[in-house]
Amino acid sequence: MDLVRIKNVEKKYKNGVTAIYDLNLAIEKGAFVFVIGGSGSGKSTLIKMLYREEKPTKGQIIVGGLDVAKLKNRKVYKLRRKLGIVFQDYRLLPKQTVYENVAFALEVIGAKKDEIRVKVLKALEDVGLKHKLHEYPDHLSGGEQQRVAIARAIVNDPKLLLCDEPTGNLDPDMSMEIMKVLEDINEKRGTTIIMVTHDKDIVNKMKKQVITLKEGRLVNFKKKGTYNNEAI
């Protein structure tokens, strides 16, 4: 079963720049996919269209049965509840503790207090931060902050986890730590992960599926890929 299906998608920005040309893709459930490419390759645009930060100008994007391109602005939350999203800059609330930051994702969708407690503790355990519940993000290292962000992304048990350069701000050791956490989530929870990156080492070590984009076009989609400099 495909979780994500992209059909004849084109994205042209208002300033006339075309970021994606006629893209066709299918990503199956439970996969771990890297999206790589140079700057201007359209990889960020692709992931933004998946969580409907951007709308495709042409074509169809189906995520977990939802037609993303046709989703109305006020219905976007329905898509977002099926997704977890992790960014390079963590996007945590500085005035709230680790626990509160993760619980926030469940509070705003109206979950019960007991349910929130159980799920938040489970998510924080999965990322190995159960001992730092009451710390504030400022007191954590970059890697730990990113793990909090991952915990927040998975606390709602999403089918799909989108990661936009999650290791972009981290040193190689911390990056590998994050990758282990993500791999764990992929294997234990069965969450499909799509991760945009330009970190060669990570892609080569992990040996996962690799989508390579160049100037808005799909170059190749390999089952056990590596970072191929020539293709980019």
Q: Which is nearer to another protein, 121 or 219 (CB)?
A: 121
Of 35-54, binders to another protein (CB under 8 A) are: 51-53
Residue 130 has which token pair?
């159960």
Question: How far apart are the C-alpha atoms of 194 and 211, rounded to whole Å?
Answer: 10
Residue 226 has which token pair?
């590596």
Smallest distance from the beta carbon of 77 to another protein, in angstroms?
Answer: 5
Phi, psi of 25 (to 5 degrees): -150, 150
Question: Binding marks (x or -) toward another protein, 73..102, rule CB under 8 A?
Answer: xx-xxxxxx-x-x-----x-x-x-------
Give the β-pairing of 58-63 and 66-67: antiparallel
Q: Does 136 bind another protein (CB under 8 A)?
A: no
Question: How far apart are the C-alpha atoms of 198 and 61, rounded to whole Å?
Answer: 24
For 59, the enclosing helix (H) or strand (E) is: strand 58-63
Smallest distance from the beta carbon of 123 to another protein, in angstroms?
Answer: 12
Candidate residues 156, 169, 226, 228; the one interacting with another protein per rule CB under 8 A: 156
Instruction: Name the site residues for another protein (rule: CB under 8 A).
Output: 51-53, 55, 73-74, 76-81, 83, 85, 91, 93, 95, 104-105, 107-110, 112, 152, 156
